[in-house]
Amino acid sequence: MEDKSLETVAKLKMYFKEREGVEYSDQVIRQGLVPSHRGTIEKPQGYAEISRSCGDGIIFFLQIHQDKIMRARFFSMGCLAAVASGNAAAVMAEGKDVYEAFDVDAPAIADALGGLPEKEDHCAELACEALREALRDYLTHRREPWKRDYPKKK
Ligand code: FES
């Protein structure tokens, strides 16, 4: 089974290299295509929607209890590197104290993914910004949770 998955990752790396001229690490391929932390959280304590001029965006959700991040989820219809970065940011934030989670910066996200192609560095910055904005949202509303505007259901 593992051999099959390695073979698939190798084929996809080749595909992106030949078709798009970009070299992705195994982690970008894996986390970008099968992100373990993609999803939403009902009534999150921390929430953010961030987009970039390239048109990609990330929505970040945090479930926090006594300043500890119990669950982190994200959603993105962006590029492969944005999805992989959102996933890596959520994985790294989960289990951390909210103040420690501010240390999850763009270079740390890119490192966790085994590096990003140079022109896609901003994808890790997008994920970092979404996480930090969700942390700020939590800190802003911690004392007055009744003032929170939850995302509207469509
Ligand atoms: Fe813009 Fe990836 S190309 S976030």
- Chain centroid offset of residue 24 CA: 17
| Residue-range domain boundaries for the chain | 2-147
pLDDT number for residue 152: 57
- How far apart (Å, rounded) are the C-alpha atoms in residues 147 and 14? 50
pLDDT number for residue 95: 98
Compute the distance from residue 3 Cα to the ligand 1 centre, in Å: 30
Share of the chain above pLDDT 70, in %: 92
Atom from ligand 1 closest to the CA of residue 81 = 2
- How far apart (Å, rounded) are the C-alpha atoms in residues 51 and 91? 20
Amino acid, single-letter form, for residue 92: M
Model pLDDT for residues 76-103, shown as the tens digit of each residue:
999 999 999 999 999 999 999 999 999 9
Cα angle for residues 133, 135, 137 (degrees, 5° grid):
70
Atom from ligand 1 closest to the CA of residue 55 = 1
Which residue in this structure is represented by tokens 């490192």?
Answer: 111
Specify the CATH architecture of the domain 2-147.
Answer: Alpha-Beta Complex (3.90)
Q: How many CB atoms lie within 10 A of CB 38?
A: 15
Cα atoms in the Cβ-side hemisphere of radius 13 Å centred on 2: 0
Whether residue 125 is predicted with pLDDT greater than 70 in this model: the reply is yes
Q: How many CB atoms lie within 10 A of CB 3?
A: 7
pLDDT number for residue 142: 84
**Whose CA is closest to atom 3 on ligand 1?**
79
Amino acid, single-letter form, for residue 135: L
Q: Are 126 and 58 a contacting pair, CB within 8 Å?
A: yes
59, 75, 79: residue to mutate for ligand 1 pocket, most atoms within 8 A of CB = 79
Model pLDDT for residues 5-50, shown as the tens digit of each residue:
888 899 999 999 999 899 999 999 999 999 999 999 999 999 999 9
- How far apart (Å, rounded) are the C-alpha atoms in residues 43 and 142? 14
